[in-house]
Chain A
Amino acid sequence: MKITRKDVEHVAALANLELTPDEVERMQKQLDSILAYIDKLNELDTATVAPMAQVLAESGPEAAWRHDAPRPGLTRADALAHAPDPQDPFFKVPKVIER
């Protein structure tokens, strides 16, 4: 096994995902089999190969720049209209800090 139950729980915590015990078990098996397949990348020698994050980078990053000028955005009413628990002008969430 490349990936342990503890790994799965650690990664789920990083990703803020609640998993049931059944899901943890299934995830361990499935991730293990997918990672075993992905290991084939190690057959390739990439010591001198540059990583590619973005195919368009070749046309130059300046292509993506624009003036940093203010423009109209969403109105507050529009932004709050979709919130699960809006309390104008805030998004209300459960307690963050324990007393």
Chain B
Amino acid sequence: MDLTTLTIAGLHAQLRARAVTARQVVEKHFERIQERNPKLKAYLTLSPERALAQAEAIDRRIQAGDPLPPLAGVPMAIKDVIVTRGVPSTAGSRILENYRPPYDATAVTRLEQAGAVILGKTNCDEFAMGSSTENSAYFPTCNPHDLARVPGGSSGGSAAAVADGLAVAALGSDTGGSIRQPAGFCGVAGLMGTYGRVSRYGLIAFASSLDHIGPLARTVRDVVAVLQVIAGRDPLDSTSADVSVPDYLAALDKPVKGLRLGVPKEYFGAGLDPEVRTKLEKGIERFRKLGCEVRELSLPHTDYAIACYYIIATAEASSNLARYDGVRYAFRAPGAATLEGMYQATRGRGFGAEVKRRIMLGTYALSAGYYEAYYLKAQKVRTLLYQDFVRAFSPDSGEHVDALVTPTSPTPAFKLGEKTADPLQMYLADIYTVTGDLVGVPGISVPCGKSKAGLPIGLQLFTRHFDEARLLQLAHAFEQSGGFTL
């Protein structure tokens, strides 16, 4: 069995034919992890006991002739910012090094109820703050297409694991592009649903108005299978949307002929790598051949998205990360004589450089005298960005489109160490992804061929709020037409 190309449907055909057991599939994955992970460093922690118990439960159901649940026996990786009961969940941070959460994230509960097998936890930038996985307090993850390059971030471990056959699918989280950008760098599909589509309960908080959980997989159909299970209202997350979840699979094979695709000119300006541009042009041409109407349009405030994002995200982070005080759980710096000294030493030693930088920036932006100039200003610019998207998608606007198509990132994967000295350069790696988080629309990155050096290039699609069905339909049609290998 070739694990690197295995799909959920392929796996289920094998399980149903009893050609292989769920336990064997899981063992094969652990074997491959033992072989490959020392080079790739995609996983932080493995959970073999939990995985094998689940696989055996699935095998018993197959033996009994019970119908298979939708993710039966599917080996999955979970980004380490998503909590798992009893299994270390560090968020890539020293401050949570020994944290074994007393509960599961809702997304994890739903995956296991649907039969998925959790292999372990994947590496990420500390608290999901980064675009390369180099901000992990433990070690950087490497890109399976070139070990000298980053896998992207912050869900770099999940993307690398899926790309290299160390899991069939994975969960990541996306606050400014952290699912889509590593998916693009590693040549897999990665989806961020509408804000509120997937419960955030059990997602270690970074920026609550921007955080999303979403799937990564090697095919759009597998992304759909995972989304179908994790989407929907959760009473434990007050921001999870009470909007019914359609049957995404049913809509997947509908023809895309006649759909209107918008190409925002601001996403194709200076700074876009020529090879990425060429592949994107081919990708757009492919959509034309599939019968889509393509038109250029403008999202005029795009250039302000990164500045807006780095105020809002850091302000929310400075508040969310205040909880790490060394009192109730996680790391406490020893030896402090006073409570305040204990707080300061715990946080000063427990957090890494990027996390401290963002806490500082966010605290500054919220502090007396600067709140209006920075935080309030950024919230107003967020409204302008939102209006750009609403106008593009609104049927009342005359020239409206059904979806937007853009590059996922301005360049293919960069080298390890290339951007670590200059935080602002690292922030700009997210230039095409952050707006999707700020305005809350769903977005997906799918492979769109490779550079001459063999590095994957990502194509990104956006649709209007809660129109994941159309987003996935377009991504699937693109994949079926051979778009992934353009």
Contacts and interface: CB of A to CB of B under 8 A. Distances in A.
B partners with A:
yes
Interface of A: 3, 7-8, 10-12, 14-20, 23, 27, 30-31, 33-35, 37-44, 46, 49-56, 59, 63-66, 74, 78-79, 81-85, 91, 93-96
A17 B347 contact: yes
Contacts of B383: 49-52
A3 to B, nearest CB: 7
Interface string B311-332: 1000000100010011111111
A87 B22 CA distance: 44
B195 A17 contact: no
A44 B305 CA distance: 12
A53 B381 CA distance: 11
For the complex of A and B, the 6 pairs showing the least CB-CB separation, nearest first, are A18-B348, A55-B440, A51-B379, A84-B332, A82-B329, A46-B380
Nearest to B337: A94
Given A17-B359, A82-B99, A83-B329, A95 B337 contact: yes
Contact of A18 (B99, B339, B345, B377): B345
A35 B423 CA distance: 12
Nearest to A74: B102
Chain B interface mostly: helix
Given A18-B345, A49-B383, 8 more contacts: A14-B363, A16-B325, A17-B351, A18-B348, A34-B427, A54-B239, A66-B238, A84-B330
B49 to A, nearest CB: 19
Contacts of B347: 15-18
B241 interface: yes
Contacts of B148: none
Given A11-B360, A56-B196, A83-B328, A50 B380 contact: yes
A31 B378 CA distance: 17
A18 B238 contact: no
A7 B364 CA distance: 9
Contacts of B353: 23
Interface string B335-349: 011111111110111
A68 B261 CA distance: 45
The contact size tier of chain B is: 35 or more
Nearest to B314: A34
22 contacts: A11-B364, A15-B347, A15-B359, A16-B347, A17-B347, A19-B356, A31-B357, A31-B364, A34-B310, A35-B364, A40-B307, A43-B304, A44-B304, A46-B377, A49-B380, A56-B239, A59-B241, A79-B102, A83-B329, A84-B326, A93-B327, A96-B339
B344 A55 contact: no
A74 B103 CA distance: 9
Contacts of B310: 34, 38
Contacts of A14: 363, 367
B209 interface: yes
B102 A38 contact: no
Contacts of A54: 209, 239
B361 interface: yes
B379 A53 contact: yes
B384 to A, nearest CB: 6
Contacts of B343: 16
B308 interface: yes
A62 to B, nearest CB: 10
A8 B363 CA distance: 10
Contact of A27 (B327, B345, B356): B356
A66 to B, nearest CB: 6
B348 A94 contact: no
A72 to B, nearest CB: 12
B386 interface: yes
A23 B356 contact: yes
Contacts of A33: 424
A65 B235 CA distance: 9
